[in-house]
Amino acid sequence: MQDFSNDRPTVTPRTWRARCSRLLVSSVVPSLLIACGSAREAAPGPRLVQPGAPGQSTRELSAEEARSAGSTPITRADVSFMQGMIGHHAQALTMSRLAPERAESPQVRLLAQRIERSQGDEIALMERWLREHGEEVPDSSRGYRMPSTGTLMMMPGMLSDRELAELRTASGAEFDRLFLVYMIRHHEGALTMVRELFESEGAGQEGQIFEFAADVDSDQRIEIARMVRMLTGDQRGP
């Protein structure tokens, strides 16, 4: 069983503000300094983009234009995070939809139902965010591929075709075990994606994406702890 005792502390708006006020040093120092309003100079800076009007594409902003606009621009890392997380969530839905017929444990079925509901709502949020910013929206109904290229999106923690086939053919207690093992790894991949977002220069500052990424980090850590308890036989369950 993997040891989660050294997991990175949860990044939420409250803890983020507390870190800023105390100027804590962590492995995500560049993002913390940006979020605290650091005037750190960097050349070249991150790619800053501004959403276009309906029917128009986004355009790249200079640092001076971004400051004069008085709004927080988004970066390419922000867009890639949202696109990648749609694909990541889509596979979690595929896994969870197997549980009603294949799981033996009522706790596993309930957990899968919660994941399907919450991540389905989050996919809708991410799709809306991408459309509002004039960015391409992955087709979550076609095996999490990008419509323009057909490229399969394999993000951290996602199951391979072989692993997904293994889960599809399992049933009863074996399905329960595989589902928990694979979903823990899947959730850990989402935490990696959040960490990489906040470690990317200039990324994660726009209000909606910051709040969403912080919520993903917090929620998936809670679910990881819950699944570990289920795997080890703790009766508290989901």
pLDDT of residue 15: 42
Task: Report yes or no: 193 and 156 within 8 Å, Cβ to Cβ.
Answer: yes
Segment 50-78, tens digit of pLDDT = 555 445 565 565 555 544 444 678 999 99
Give strand ranges (E) for the chain: 48-50, 59-61, 74-75
Return all residues near 40 (Cβ < 8 A) that are at least 6 apart: 33, 34
Domain locations along the chain: 74-231
| 27-51 mean pLDDT | 38
Q: Are the CB atoms for 234 and 211 separated by under 8 Å?
A: no
Q: What is the pLDDT of residues 69-113, one digit of tens each?
A: 446 789 999 999 999 999 999 999 999 999 999 999 999 999 999
- The residues that bridge with 75 in the sheet, in sequence order, are 48
Neighbouring residues of 187: CB distance < 8 A, sequence distance ≥ 6: 157, 220, 221, 223, 224, 227
Q: Domain 74-231: what homologous superfamily?
A: Ferritin, core subunit, four-helix bundle (1.20.1260.10)
pTM, rounded to two decimals = 0.69
Neighbours of 173 (CB within 10 A): 12
Q: What percent of the chain has pLDDT over 90?
A: 57
